[in-house]
Amino acid sequence: MNRRYGGNRFHLFHRRRIWNASEEKWMGWERKRGKLEEFNRLLRGSVNTSFIVRTADNEFLRKIRYVITLDSDTQLPRDTARRLIGVATHPLNRPSIDKLVNRVTYGYGILQPRVSISLESASRSGFVKIFSGNTGIDPYT
């Protein structure tokens, strides 16, 4: 992709799999939660992660301020990422971390926009059909 679009804007990160005895399979530690936790540690300079392949150097990683995660079934309409970053960078939303408790006490450390189910995704399984409720485009958002 870097050859196609030029520059060095696309990077690969791959984690080592570990044996999960309860699921009886090799998988990434803690699935998605672990992936995000380890990626955040990697961005903060930690070398104690299960990432075994990464194409970005430490200097580049330390400059990253915002991360947007998407699932395989996530649809990101045009300019949505730009708007989400705008919300994240607004001065009133900037996280303030209390060093004593090591927590965000003002502003936001994580933003999660409202998620809706597409018509296609809602028909994938009975479980999703039951819990998805109304599907499609919401004209009021």
- pLDDT for 42 equals 93
Backbone region of residue 81 per phi and psi (left: phi > 0; alpha: psi in -120 to 50; beta: other values): alpha
- pLDDT for 109 equals 86
Q: For residues 40 and 69, give the distance between their C-alpha atoms in angstroms, rounded to a whole number.
A: 12
- pLDDT for 69 equals 86
Q: Is residue 13 a contact partner of residue 51, using CB atoms and an 8 Å limit?
A: yes
- pLDDT for 105 equals 94
In this structure, which amino acid lies at residue 12? L
pLDDT per residue of the chain (141 residues) written in tens, 0 to 9? 999 999 888 999 999 999 999 999 999 999 989 999 999 999 989 989 999 999 998 889 989 988 888 877 777 888 988 999 999 999 999 999 999 999 999 999 888 877 666 656 666 677 666 666 655 555 545
Q: For residues 91 and 67, give the distance between their C-alpha atoms in angstroms, rounded to a whole number.
A: 18
- pLDDT for 93 equals 93
- pLDDT for 27 equals 96
In this structure, which amino acid lies at residue 127? F
- pLDDT for 115 equals 65
* 103 Cβ contact partners less than 8 Å away, ≥ 6 residues apart: 97
pTM metric for this prediction: 0.69
Task: Quote the Cα angle for 113-115-120, to 5°.
Answer: 150
- pLDDT for 124 equals 66
Of 105, 111, 103, 58, nearest to 86 by C-alpha is: 111
- pLDDT for 61 equals 92
